[in-house]
Chain A
Amino acid sequence: MTSTTYEPPAPETDLRRRGIRLGDVLFKGIAIVAALAATVLLGLIAWKILQLARPAIQDFGLSFIWTDAWNPVTNDYGALAFVYGTAVTSIIALVLATPLSVAIALFLTEIAPRKVAAPIATMVELLAAIPSVVLGLWGILVFGPWVRDYLEPWLQDVLGFLPMFSGTPSQAGILPAALVLTIMIIPITSAICRELFIRVPQELMDGSLALGSTRWEAIRGVLLTYAAPGIAAAVLLGLGRAFGEAIAVNQTIGNANIIPTSWFEPGNSLGSKIAAEYAGATSVEQASSILYLAAILMVISLTTNVIAQVIVVRFERARRAV
């Protein structure tokens, strides 16, 4: 053990002594690269879509968004009809789906005994699993005719004085598309609401019930209040889905590049219009205006999603603070 015969250890042994192993470094490196790739991918999508749309954005300017025109002959293009179609179908779907989803989630968590809740929850999940193209097929060939023959005449009888319920019933239009969207987002929102309601502390509900409130009063006063931000996030996620759905809407909305007064009439949405042009646009302006539509759609749905995520993160932080 004399200090004169000091030999420096081999590098690998040195690493080993410090607890570093080549396998670990490599594995961690690969995992980091994968995580970076996922992040870069999101950025790349946003950048590429905007880059593709740039010629159109420069050509048409921002006024494209609120211009109502789609004329391949005169090369006049504007997005208003599609923005309108997207907004109105999604908002109808949202207004119908939100109370239904909350009610379904309440039924599954607060009312139904476990034996009943489990199969119904599975069925709602399966509703989400139906491919949108199949729902669209059903929407245009089965549901659309039913809406035309029964639902729309009935709406006209009852609410015909409103402009949106005037006009001739048709199997493809704003209303059938909105209803198909409703069917698509109910399973999404209700599944998230169910998760939320399960996590509401039971003692809060018990406290309310012990004070003599009815079940509904406890739900309204405690459960819904507690879960409100989460419900808002769930609704926004459903809305994001509705904004972005292209195929089922394309099959059911009728693909008319106009802003219809009546909900019975055909219209078009951003996603649907893009999908309709897949076989190839006929002119450069038309192709680039389609890309402009894609950019608008991306910005809208990314914004909706980011807001929903922010609410979720805040909600979780608040919940942990309780």
Chain B
Amino acid sequence: MSTVPTAVDPYDITQRSNGLRRRRIVEKIFGVVAIASALLACAILVTVLATTLYKGFSQLDLTFFTKPRPLFGEKGGIADALVGSAVIVTMAMLMAIPVAILVAIYMAEYARPRVSKGLRVVLDVLNGVPAIVVGIFVFGLLVVGNGQSAIFGAFALAILMLPMVARATQEILEVVPQSLRHASLALGVSKWRTTWNVILPAAIGGILTGVVIAVARIAGETAPLLFTSSIAANQVSLDISGALPTLPVMIYENSESPDPAAQAAGWAAAVVLIGFVLVLNILAKFFAGRKRRQLEGA
């Protein structure tokens, strides 16, 4: 340290500042970490999809869709679970969607901002109630004393669906241009007809997106069905007063089974369920794109 260090002129931009090398390295590391994280998430998705397809696809044939689950070892299908899931999800949609859209209309068209904000919190908290707790709630409210039934299962799924659809609808209603409302009201159209004939059609793309995503989510829900519609016979049935078998519950049970044949059937059912959910999500993207174009055009 005998020599005086060469003076660093802080204003001389031709000189490199001492920390620059380190700062550049940190910058590089940051970039690499960010890219690696994104790639990791994609890799996980691809791995899950690929293994599910690999393990399940080979068993998908016509009989798999037309025959119910086997009672004992013989080869069967998933017809009963498929029908049960379709019935229960349809009923849940019928219960949840009208109420959800009405809640959203109230929030966006009628309620004062404070009330609307309060309802938003209520819906978000409702959305955060664990699915298994919703299952226990319906179990305690309805199943105790009445026994399991597809209707109760649908009710539990509807509770999960309600906040999702309501929030999506409310958000889209709030971006419907104010000019549409004014134009309609100025023509002397009543408020409810304005909402029904002008606002809702303008927002339909966004509402459908919300509905489709919510359906995709509840179609794969297992927890609310365990206590409400799980103990069911292996046969195709439309009797909604009793428990119906469903795809998620079937996959859940088969995944816990040590029997390789049952596991294989579980994988095949998972292919069907994932396929359904992915198709719905792509459909949602399509509706979302349409919605954006429509509202931009408006």
Contact surface of A with B, Cβ cutoff 8 Å: 21, 23-24, 26-28, 30-35, 37-39, 41-42, 44-45, 48-49, 51-52, 99-100, 103-104, 106-108, 110-112, 120, 122-127, 129-138, 140-142, 183, 186-187, 190, 214-217, 219, 237, 240-241, 243-247, 251, 271, 274-275, 278-279, 291, 294, 297-298, 301-302, 304-306, 308-309, 313
Contact = CB atoms under 8 A, between A and B. Distances in A.
Contact of A309 (B40, B124, B192, B222): B124
Interface string B119-130: 101111110111
Contacts, number: 259
Interface in B15-55: 23-24, 26-27, 30-31, 33-38, 40-42, 44-45, 48, 51-52, 55
B174 interface: no
Contacts of A141: 55, 255, 263, 267
B159 A240 contact: no
Contact of B27 (A216, A243, A302): A216
Contacts of B232: none
Contacts of A51: 140
4 nearest A-B pairs in the assembled complex, by CB-CB distance? A131-B220, A244-B130, A305-B128, A27-B192
Taking chain A's interface residues, is the majority helix, strand, or loop, or is none over half, making it mixed? helix
B136 A129 contact: no
Contacts of B140: 48-49, 51-52, 291
A251 B255 contact: yes
A107 B30 CA distance: 10
Contact of B126 (A32, A41, A99, A134): A41
B128 A133 contact: no
Nearest to A274: B132
A247 B137 contact: no
B220 A120 contact: no
Among B111, B129, B162, find the residue whose CB has the most chain A CB atoms closer than 10 A: B129
A48 B44 CA distance: 39
B103 A247 contact: no
Interface stretch (B61-69, B71-79, B86-94, B223-231): B223-231
Nearest to B41: A124
Taking chain B's interface residues, is the majority helix, strand, or loop, or is none over half, making it mixed? helix
A131 B267 contact: no
B133 A103 contact: no
Among B51, B134, B140, B255, find the residue whose CB has the most chain A CB atoms closer than 10 A: B255
B128 A237 contact: yes
Contact of B223 (A27, A142, A246): A246
Given A42-B125, A106-B34, A279-B231, A129 B252 contact: no
B27 to A, nearest CB: 4
B37 A103 contact: yes
A215 B27 contact: yes
B121 A309 contact: yes
B26 A134 contact: no
Among A33, A108, A138, find the residue whose CB has the most chain B CB atoms closer than 10 A: A138
B292 interface: no
B226 A278 contact: yes
B69 to A, nearest CB: 16
Contact of B129 (A45, A127, A216, A309): A45
B176 interface: no
Nearest to A101: B37
A24 B270 contact: no
B293 interface: no
A301 B128 contact: yes
B251 interface: yes
30 contacts: A24-B190, A31-B102, A31-B106, A31-B110, A32-B106, A35-B119, A37-B103, A39-B119, A45-B133, A100-B37, A120-B42, A122-B285, A123-B41, A127-B41, A130-B220, A132-B223, A134-B270, A136-B252, A137-B251, A137-B270, A141-B255, A142-B55, A240-B128, A244-B128, A247-B252, A278-B226, A279-B231, A291-B140, A305-B128, A309-B125
Given A23-B192, A298-B130, 20 more contacts: A27-B196, A32-B106, A41-B126, A44-B137, A48-B137, A49-B136, A103-B38, A106-B34, A107-B34, A130-B48, A131-B221, A131-B222, A135-B48, A137-B251, A138-B51, A142-B51, A246-B131, A247-B132, A271-B223, A297-B130
Nearest to B39: A120
Interface stretch (B1-9, B202-210, B271-279): B271-279
B216 A37 contact: no
